[in-house]
Amino acid sequence: MIAETEPRSSVGASARSLSQVHKWWASKIAPLLAVTFLALIIEPLGVGDAIRRGGAMLWSACLLATAAYVVNDWYDREVDRAIGKESAVMAMRGSVVAALHVALVVAAALPWLVLGLTTTTWVAFAAIVILPLVYSAPPLRWKTRGGLGVIADASLAHLAPATFALAAFGALDLDDRMAATVVAVAALIWSGAVGLRAIISHEIVDLEADRLAGVETWVGRIGVERATRLGTWAVFPVELMALSCVVVALAAFTAVPMVLLAATAVAMALARFAGAWVAPMLVVSTPTTERVLLFLFYRFWLGAAFLAGLIAVEPAFVTVVPVYLILFFPVARDELTSLVRGTVGTVRGLAWIIYGKGIRRAGNWSRYRLPEYASAVGAAAAWIGRGVASAATAAGRGLAAGATATGRGLAAGATATGRGLAAGTSAAGRGLGIAAGAIGRFFVSTWSTVRRFVWRAYRKCRRTILARTRSHT
């Protein structure tokens, strides 16, 4: 167990001063274990093999981190003396520091000579060894070369170790599984962005000390305002997007991390709303505070969420939980205490909001405002009623007058129509009578003419017949 308090023994104090473990243990190892749990989710291994490789990785990470700080403190010894900063490396000779650095690197590599590593893993291991020298040692000393120093520190602290962890557990053997590929690539992008944001924050906090020591960093060149703007609006969105891609793509294997992280986001929003979380929401540090968004979360909870996902995939990994809690006991204790306090504060704040802004305001409104509103509503209703009644009366009168005028008009029209029909009927009758008389006279005249013609013909025939009869006699 690595404690966060000052060791009591001189040996412990010397070891702590030499390794600077309090600077990197939770902030660097916890994200590394989170990436390791990701690798085990997408590339499952047996529990025994995973624990062996995980123990070897933890061993190597501690030794290589110590080696990096030994190199940095040695080459910064003059700068540290100028600002009154002390370290165990200052009292050592150069040959001792070199031998110590080599011994740490060799000890870190020994387990992997037995377990075996791929070419990609050895390249990542070499980068972790070389980058501290590139960052701190002259003539390169990228630390004082602006953006190169930022890139070197971010790669050394987060990107290269994450690459080593993914490769050591086979998660970089990319194949046709799209989800595993997205998780691995997004995890690398996320680790690089976290490293960039961390070094920007670190250089902002150490700006005055670096200026006093004559060290010009990247933040010193471009200014705090511009560095803060780049960290907030360029680096942080990439970090959030990459982490979101990791969680969403990981749902193809297990949805537990996504559910836990979504619940965490909701809890943070509720705590902010309830006033239980009053810390400033900073994305990068300021010269007066180092509390920035998500960095404390990465020190314990992110790895815990991915460990829960790993247990959901393979329940046998529940044996890792006590180890994880022991490794980060001070951080876990503080975070769990903060969780309890935050939960209580959030519930209390929400209850007060519900009571103060809901129930009490509703009671006051019903006691004082409701009678006023009721009176005003009654007056408005009476006014509207009177207006509606007046409008209805006027409308009724108008309809009655209209109906009367319409009735009179219909009566006059019916009378005129009746008179017109009577006159027309009389004229038609006279015309029909005249026509009938003329037709009757025509038929009478015709009948008389026909009757005379027939009578005459009959008489004529009769005389002829009688004349012939007499002549024969």
Among candidate residues 229, 155, 246, the one with its CA nearest the CA of residue 195: 155
Lookup result for tokens 């499952």: 44
Q: What pLDDT was estimated at residue 11?
A: 66
| Distance of alpha carbon 206 from alpha carbon 79, whole angstroms | 13
In angstroms, the CA 223 to CA 230 distance is 11
Which pair of tokens denotes residue 320?
């890792």
pLDDT at 473: 58
191 and 153 Cβ atoms separated by less than 8 Å:
no
The residues with which 286 forms a beta bridge, in sequence order, are 289
pLDDT of residue 462: 77
**Residue closest to 285 by CA, chosen among 173, 198, 157:** 198
pLDDT bracket for residue 374 (50, 70, 90): low
Tokens at 459, concatenated: 């008489």
- Position of tokens 């060290």? 215
- Quick one: average pLDDT of 396-417? 76
Kindly state the average pLDDT of the residues 332-343.
87
Query: What pLDDT, on a 0 to 100 scale, did the predictor assign at position 367?
Result: 63
Q: Which fold has domain 10-327?
A: Farnesyl Diphosphate Synthase (1.10.600)
Between the alpha carbon of residue 309 and those of residues 41, 163, 326, the distances in Å are: 7, 21, 19
Q: What is the distance between the alpha carbons of residues 387 and 385, in angstroms, rounded to a whole number?
A: 5
In this prediction, residue 85 carries a pLDDT of 79
Place of tokens 């085990």: 40
The residue that leads in pLDDT, 267 or 425, is: 267
The size of the chain, in residues, is 473
What's the angle, vertex CA 319, arms to CA 315 and CA 322, rounded to 5? 130
- The answer on pLDDT for 7 being more than 70 is no
| pLDDT tens digits for range 208-265 | 888 877 788 899 899 999 999 999 999 999 999 999 999 999 999 999 999 999 999 9
pLDDT of residue 383: 83
For the stretch 261-287, pLDDT in tens is 999 999 888 888 888 776 677 888 887
Helical (H) or strand (E) element with 406: helix 370-472
Residue type, 99: A
**Position 345 confidence tier, pLDDT thresholds 50, 70, 90:** confident
The answer to whether the CB of 272 falls within 8 A of the CB of 351 is no
CA–CA separation, 43 vs 167, rounded Å?
A: 10
Render pLDDT for 50-79 as a digit per residue (tens, 0 to 9). 999 999 999 999 999 999 999 999 998 888
- Other C-beta atoms within 10 Å of 430: how many? 10
* C-alpha distances out from residue 433 to 90, 416, 426, 428, 445, Å: 149, 25, 10, 8, 18
pTM, entire model: 0.74
Question: 370 pLDDT band (50/70/90 cuts)?
Answer: low
Residue 394 CA to residue 3 CA, distance in Å, equals 92
pLDDT band at 344 (very low <50, low <70, confident <90, very high): confident
How many degrees, rounded to 5, is the angle at CA 219 between CA 216 and CA 224? 130
Q: Are 314 and 323 in contact (CB under 8 A)?
A: no
Rounded to 5°, the CA angle 71-37-132 comes to: 10
- Domain regions of the chain by residue span: 10-327
Residue 101 has pLDDT above 60, yes or no: yes
